[in-house]
Structure 1
């Protein structure tokens, strides 16, 4: 996992962000939060309830508020407030800035191992080995070990994480296309052509899992070669770039990346409205697809595994396993109280989160309750066989993305040039390799 050599740069970034936030009108909010922190300390010192703040990326109405309300009802001495940040670059920077500038953050959710490692290296996450009354490996199973950082847990992976392609089952039936259980990127590209209607698209992606096809290859093959040099010129990396470019420019079955980024394209809404029949996304789709008030739909949703670039299925790993790695702020005054809440949350308190596709990972959680919460009264609007397959029955090995954020950034900066048409494929691959090699020389521990 990640080491600590780049700590100074991260701290500088967070402090700069704090200054910018203050200059842009965030100062009064920071003052208010500071006052809240003083009030919290005073309340605890005077014998009142301890007040914790948990930061997460899920909208409060999609489960978190129900979770904290249930806890607060039964624990008047420890009250939890949920604070939402959007799980994108801007939102994660907001969380990092809040942690580094001493705002009230007692618990926070990491949505990738890269983010978790970065925060551990900055000293933001507490080492949970200090708590000996909860065995994370026993509770969560062997997949939990993928979240260890330098051999330790700095958080608890709380959910079974699934990524998939959501499909408009009615559109598939009309085109006489089966719901795939095992397919390649080339096959998915053909589906997109057959499902495309007029000027519309056949396939769309949420930006969060956009690069998962690359990581599914390199998580297995290695991000570096035997000689220690970059493996970003792997043939399947080139294939992903070429294939997606062809879908954007030649097939016109998926939006050009530039258009998607500049318009902040509402991909979930486009899928749920029936405008686009295939969507690459994660289980968080269910918090929208269960919401018929904001996202009414008249079609059934089916689910397929994320397609592979490899022809050989035996060599394929897919993103998934355990997720929502919740850490306790190393600077929190109330780590003991935060730990009590975190144990309760992981062992079943989080059940209302299943309505948004987040199933508890703990063996002691009531999975039947979680499943009922996940589908609610909308069960007949899903192809449940395919849903159960992608979430439980698909035995494809999984990976947790651990590539350093700096590497994610440098490769996205280069492939965006390619998709925007300002750099050809050879130059793009060469630039990614060159920059990755430079990074590896500066960070030999990676």
Structure 2
């Protein structure tokens, strides 16, 4: 366990929050008391759901009503930790609730780091026994791998893969087809052909929104994220992954596109002008944007960002034409059972239902559940696009194809000091892109600095 996680656990021990998280005896007793079969239990049970998700984004009223109708013996007490959906605010409140010994049953995390940190702190119970009892393969059931250290502590809710948004009008002008399967080399060729004009009138083939002082680091993992595993700067065992050939390849892509092809908005413009991907795409200053599919709700244009052109979607590029493809960065909601829950069976029953049938009823996002039918996916996409101003301008077929074929790589357990690693690599990248060092030097210095971070947090 890393240093910061250890401190977190010690704080929690001092406040007594881990008193019920110890040997598992209480969990077993609670399971027996609540009944091994939640549906067959005679006693009504109320479980508490702590979430960052507000009503507008998660449609809780309808979703929970449907669950309680199917499981009449389980009531869900919804505790929204941030009415504005602020995940940082939600995690602070969740930690305070845990430290005060507040009753918890179902916990919802919005990102791998928040999830892994609370698992390391002992707030989250493993759910492997329930999975084994039910008898399904998590890899076959869901698109997102949520395992940590060989155990499962969560099931995935929504499925937000990254993809490439395309200005379809620009493609047609350049005589280019909407890609259904492509490589980074082809992505670079498209960007070159889509780049037109000079000076202040120049329109770039693409725009990368990062890195920015340690944030938006997806843009320094381009080729890494196309692989089925080892997609982070650190490996699962905590050692550096900066010797990965795909890290080097990412740097080569960024350098070539900016300095040789001049097909990407200059990094200096991104930083000095504080450019944003929404403006760059909807104002047609860039023809392709690599971004997450949270953009589904905006694809047809909004009042803030009107759409004056046709939009298509392409998959995340792969490294080699013979690669399996489909791998991409993915965001999800990690649905977990609290380790101090007195109703672990009922809590698991809820997260299993919520991550399957519940996602279809909620109707706000694409589910991670693999058993979503084509008709269900079509209906959900229609519902999402209908909330935009011009859904008819969206190439729905390309969107459906990308969403149905995308999949997440094996999750790497985030280190508690991950932000420090990100900042180091971001700083060294700036020196590279500003011509202060070459790729070999950047990798060497980054490796040395990251190793210092690892050792200082060991």
When normalised by structure 2's length, the TM-score is 0.70
Following the alignment from structure 1 to structure 2, what is the Cα–Cα distance between the partners of residues 171 and 181? Answer: 17
Q: Secondary structure at the match of 1:216?
A: helix
- 1:102 alignment partner, SS class: helix
Which residue number in structure 2 is paired with residue 175 of structure 1?
174
Conserved? CA contact 1:14–1:97, under 8 Å = no
Contact 1:72/1:80 (8 A) holds in 2: no
Aligned residue pairs total 400
For 2:176 and 2:11, how far apart are their aligned partners in 1?
49
Q: 1:402: Cα distance to partner?
A: 0.9
SS in structure 2 at match of 1:241: helix
Deviation (angstroms), 1:437: 3.8
Report the counterpart of residue 381 of structure 2 in structure 1: 374
Helix, strand or coil: the match of 1:254?
coil
Kindly report which structure 2 residues correspond to 1:55-204, keeping only aligned pairs within 5 A, or say none: 55-56=51-52, 60-65=55-60, 67-68=62-63, 70-71=65-66, 74=69, 77-84=75-82, 93-102=88-97, 107-129=106-128, 131=130, 135=134, 137-138=136-137, 141=140, 146-197=145-196, 198-204=201-207
Deviations along 1:200-225, one digit per CA (max 9) or x if unpaired, are 44323453632442533675578789
Q: Aligned runs of 1:400-411 on 2, under 5 Å? A: 400-402=410-412, 404-405=414-415, 408-411=418-421
Tell me the distance in 1 between the aligned counterparts of 2:245 and 2:259.
21
In structure 2, stretches of 5+ residues that fail to align are: 14-42, 210-215
Cα 1:163–1:121 shift into 2, 3 Å: same
CA separation in 1, counterparts of 2:374 and 2:227?
33
2:231 aligned with 1:236 = no
Deviation at 1:12, TM superposition (A): 8.2
Matched position secondary structure for 2:152: coil
Q: CA deviation at 1:62?
A: 3.7
> Do structure 1's residue 216 and structure 2's residue 225 form an aligned pair?
yes
Cα pair distance change 1:280/1:375, threshold 3 Å: same
1:76-100 Cα distance to aligned partner (Å, 9 max, x none): 943424445999xxx6554443333
CA–CA distance in structure 2, aligned partners of residues 416 and 134 of structure 1: 45
8 Å CA contact 2:125, 2:339 repeated in 1: yes
Q: In structure 2, how many angstroms separate the alpha carbons of the residues matched to 1:354 and 1:242? A: 41
Match of 1:8 in 2: 6
The TM-score, its normalising length taken from structure 1, stands at 0.71
Contact 1:209 1:280 (C-alpha < 8 Å) held by counterparts:
no
User: Is the contact made by 2:171 and 2:177 (CA closer than 8 Å) also made in structure 1?
Assistant: yes
The answer to whether 1:390 aligns with 2:402 is yes
Answer whether contact 1:417 1:428 (CA < 8 A) is retained: no
Aligned pair in 2 of structure 1 residues 315, 440: CA closer, same or farther (>3 Å)? farther
Q: Could you tell me how far apart the structure 2 residues matched to 1:178 and 1:189 are?
A: 15
When the two chains are superposed, the root-mean-square deviation of aligned CA atoms in Å is 4.3
Q: Give CA deviations for 1:209-267 in whole Å, capped at 9, x if unaligned.
A: 32442533675578789xx9744133432231232144345655434556646876442
Deviation at 1:170, TM superposition (A): 1.6
Instruction: Structure 1: state its 5+ residue gaps.
Output: 16-46
The answer (yes or no) to whether the contact 1:274–1:297 under 8 Å persists in 2 is no
